[in-house]
Amino acid sequence: MSIHFNLPEAFLKRMQCLPDFDYSNFIKSYDAPPFRGLRVNTLKCKPELFSEISPFTLEKSPFDDCGFYVGTGASGRHPWHHAGVFYLQESSAMSAVTALDVRPGMKVLDLCAAPGGKSTQAAAKLLGDGFILCNEIIPSRAAVLLSNIERCGVRNAAVTNEKPEKLCPKLEGFFDRVLVDAPCSGEGMFRREPAAAAEWTEQTPVACAKRQLGILEEACKTVAQGGVLVYSTCTFSPDENEGVVDAFLKNHPEFAIEPIDDRFGSVARPDWADAAAEIANARRVFPFDGGEGHFVARMRRTDGGIPSRSTNALKPADKEAAKLFNAFYSSQFSDEPYGNLFKIGGRIFMLPEFLPDLHGINLLRAGVLAGNIKGKRFEPSHALYLAAKAEAAQNKADFSLDDERLAAFLHGEQVDAPEGCSKGYAGVMAQGYIVGFGKVSDGVLKNHYPKGLRNL
């Protein structure tokens, strides 16, 4: 049976009554399978190279320069997913960061960031230069967000688990780019997640719109002069889309909506929400546009606000701890250590430049957790190796994708070390890309892959 027979009747009636809407084409799209998207992580690999070496069938998508439609075989169990080479992300969801126009050197806030698709996409566009703060209000989802930030090798991020009304006033005018991918009624996910359709009611979009406007009211405080605020949802509801943006702009004349590149989707429909004509500058994506469903609006702060604040000055790690870490780093990697070394307890962090003062904020992680000082030795972390450049790894155990030892390592087993891998800590690689690390002794690679990340 086609999924559209299980869609809420009130939802279908509303879509059918929208003026000048291709409802027939829309409803036919529910007879087709959902799109599967993949985005190449440019912190690890260039999309052109990935197209050449990919074991999957790929087709370019219009939503991001690094985005593809992908066939079967791409999953979270694949070694290159473990290595952060690619991120499985619904294709039209990539449009929000494309509209955000992130460039190296900028300071970026992703306010509703879990599970991390848009955060890692924005971080890749920074190319390690600048700073991104990734926030998620739900603790369990914030933990998933942190895991994805680490897997994708992001060095210049902080991950927080905080309410917008507490976080945003502390960071007034700090960010060049702010993304609010707001919690929504999820109508654009009905084709992928039938359970979302089962939970939907006629009241859901109205309740979501109220919450979304409240989040925007906090988010706008953090936008620097001349900065950009992008609002996005994965719903079709005019109340949550054109209606929210129109209400926000009426309350904030210091923001102006800007056109978005027309390479994807179609113009927004202010007439569906009795909104101002300029709301048509936003973009809508329907399933017949090549994505599951998305709405994106780009707004620039034209005046008002305050200049971006100075950053937090933290005391560096003590000389002895820095000496131990630097000695270890130079034994493992050929490049120079990055970030500002900071020690808390026995843990060593490599903090990013532009890290703001987050005192009083529930901070899960800033920068890269490098490892732990234990007595007179340094013990590395998984995150240190995932954030490393593959070409800088000196002692490495590089396995081909079809090597049984690689599968066993990702399962948590110790394996025979490959020829040429020296005694001591070694980066473990999946055909050229780091997936983690182990310790070699007597020709055996002892497993240090985190239990929670293993293929079971």
Domain of residue 335, residue span: 313-392
Query: Does 402 lie in the same domain as 355?
Result: no
Q: Which two three-digit tokens encode residue 322?
A: 């820095």
Report the b/e string of 332-344 with b at 16+ CB within 10 A: bbeeeebbbbbbe
The secondary structure of 152-193, three-state, reads: CCCCCEEEECCCHHHHHHHHCCCEEEEEEECCCCCHHHCCCC
Whether residue 307 is contained in a domain is answered as no
Q: Which of 270, 301, 332 is the last residue of a domain?
A: 301
- CB of 372 within 8 A of CB of 379? yes
Q: What is the pLDDT of residue 316?
A: 81
Omega prior to 104 cis, within 30 of 0: no
Residues 231 and 362 in one domain: no
Same domain? For 195 and 221 the reply is: yes
Q: Based on the domain organization, do 327 and 257 belong to the same domain?
A: no
Strand 340-344 and strand 107-110: the pairing is: unpaired
The residue assigned the tokens 């300071």 is: 107
Query: Up-side HSE of residue 238: CA atoms within 13 Å toward CB?
Result: 18
**The predicted structure's pLDDT at residue 104:** 98
Answer yes or no: do 45 and 156 share one domain.
yes
209 within some domain: yes
Q: In the listed set 269, 301, 333, which residue is the last one of a domain according to the structure?
A: 301
Rounded (10°) CA dihedral 173, 174, 178, 182: -80
Residue 1 confidence (pLDDT): 38
Q: Which of 154, 148, 156, 110 is nearest to 131 (CA)?
A: 156
Which regions of the chain are under pLDDT 70?
Answer: 1-5, 304-313
Question: Would strands 107-110 and 294-301 be described as parallel, antiparallel, or unpaired?
Answer: unpaired
Cβ neighbours of residue 48 under 8 Å, at least 6 residues apart? none
Indicate the number of domains in the chain: 3
Residue 330 lies in a domain: yes
Contact 204, 138 (CB under 8 A): no
- 421 flagged as catalytic: no
Contacts of 211 (CB under 8 A, 6+ apart): 182, 183
Q: CB under 8 Å to 279, separation ≥6 — which residues? A: 242, 245, 246, 249, 257, 268, 270, 273, 297
What pLDDT does residue 248 have?
98
pLDDT at 307: 56
Among 168, 208, 234, 421, which one carries the catalytic annotation?
234
Q: Are residues 231 and 327 in the same domain?
A: no
Is the residue at 340 inside a domain? yes
Strand 175-181 to strand 223-233: parallel, antiparallel, or no bridges (unpaired)? parallel
Q: What is the pLDDT of residue 171?
A: 96
Amino acid at 436: G
- Going 212 to 255 to 257 to 106, the CA torsion angle's sign is negative
Name the nearest CA neighbour of 347 among 312, 383, 391. 383
What pLDDT, on the 0 to 100 scale, is given for residue 313? 59
The CATH number covering residue 365 comes to 3.10.450
Q: Which residue in 214, 207, 156 sits closest to 180, CA to CA? A: 214
